[in-house]
Amino acid sequence: MSRAKATTRPELPGTLSLPVPRRAPSTRFLRSELAMVFRRRRNIAILGVLAGVPVLIAIAVKIATRHGRNASDGGAFFGNITTNGVFVAFAALLAVLPLFLPMAVSVVAGEAVAGEASSGTLRYLLTVPVSRSRLLAVKYASLLAWSVAATFVVALSGTLVGLLLFGGGEVTLLSGTSVPLESGLFRLLLVVGYIAVMVAVLGAIGLFVSTLTEVPIAAMATTLALTITSQVLDAVPQLGAIHPWLPSHYWLRFDDFMRDPLTLERVQHGLAVSLGYIAVFLLLAWARFGNKDVTS
């Protein structure tokens, strides 16, 4: 059948041929999934905890400086907090990246498919009808949004409390040069985007693990355990040969955004490896879920 015949109504004697209106792709499923993720009380509590970390760091540094203690013992990011409050956001991101952010993403990712299977809604969801490929795409899109939101909450909270307690002004980069506050905030946004991609890798891994079981807690724990294992292996110098293949190996390269001139070679390498991980585990999730016998 030709394309023209496929997009027109059957012609009747004495009538005109009218084009059949094409419906735009619906975003209702995605909006429903996003609402479910961001309205769940547990997830709201997680965002609250993440937002509280920068506040605790800022208060601790403020108290330490009042008692004459040197905040530089925590590294360059912590040492610069007293000179510019924006560094509270950088220090907080550095603090939450090893455990808190992976835990936040693992909790949501582990429940993506396993939670639906455990509650008995997965079978009905697939008969709406919703194709399995579309379901996985929507689930990962919500995980990606969650990764960005969790990272952004830490940065936003850190920036606000930092500027409130320590003020702003020019931002002294790790290379020693100073840039305007606007440039420092732009670099902070770049860091947020980079870290969001890093933890989005955990979302893809967690989504795959979630297709292997109907127990959400098992999927969450497995995802978090794999993350911790990657960090432990990355800390062993004798295993240097496998370090470039570990997803956590590239997490701390966001400090390149705080140097002048801005060099992106290491950052681009980290992003390329992370996107490769995302592609591989999404394909594994699709292959597993596409052949999975959904009974609940």
pLDDT, one tens digit for every residue, the chain (296 residues)? 444 444 444 444 544 444 544 555 568 888 988 999 999 999 999 999 999 999 999 999 999 888 666 655 567 788 888 888 999 999 999 999 999 999 999 999 998 888 877 776 766 666 656 677 888 999 999 999 999 999 999 999 999 999 999 988 889 888 888 899 999 999 999 999 999 999 999 999 999 999 998 899 999 999 999 999 999 999 999 999 999 999 999 999 998 999 888 888 999 999 999 999 999 999 999 998 877 655 54
The 10s digit of each residue's pLDDT in 255-280 is 899 988 888 899 999 999 999 999 99
Q: What pLDDT is attached to residue 70?
A: 61
Sequence letter at residue 135: L
Q: What pLDDT is attached to residue 8?
A: 46
